């Protein structure tokens, strides 16, 4: 788990949240499920199963990980669950990614010459 990894400093709540989201997105199936939900805006579990060609139980496990990471939400509609992206959390994720590692990799139009040009070329 994220909390069990020894580091030189403790992660903030936002860093833990971001790390959990990255971990969920690090699986290719979950990454594709996110793309499917972004394209279709919402899906029933069975539709996602059809896209992935995986067993329904396997897809349900992937959906659980995405839901627990805050990336999607699901609403029970009769015998099925309808999933969609959690828009507020996706906006939060995009903002955090843009802010992540602020001292690294400035945009070309604002970049200053590197102090050590031989480093990492």
Say whether pLDDT at 110 is over 90. no
Q: 67, 39, 71, 33: which is closest to 52 by C-alpha?
A: 33
Higher pLDDT, 108 or 3: 108
Q: Residues 1-21: pLDDT tens digits?
A: 555 666 678 989 999 999 999
**Does the domain formed by 2-110 have CATH 1.10.10.10?**
yes
Higher pLDDT, 79 or 8: 79
Residue 31, both tokens? 């990454």
């Amino acid at each position: 788990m994220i909390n069990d990894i020894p580091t030189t400093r403790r992660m903030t709540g936002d860093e833990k949240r971001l790390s959990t989201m990255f971990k969920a997105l690090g699986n290719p199936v979950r990454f594709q499920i996110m793309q499917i939900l972004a394209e279709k805006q919402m899906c029933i579990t069975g539709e996602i199963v059809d896209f992935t060609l995986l067993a329904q139980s396997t897809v349900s496990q992937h959906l659980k990980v995405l839901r627990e990471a805050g990336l999607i939400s699901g609403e029970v509609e009769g015998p099925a669950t309808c999933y969609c992206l959690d828009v507020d959390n996706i906006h939060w994720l995009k903002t955090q990614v843009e802010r992540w590692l602020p001292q690294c990799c400035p945009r070309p139009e604002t970049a200053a010459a590197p102090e050590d040009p031989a480093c990492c070329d």
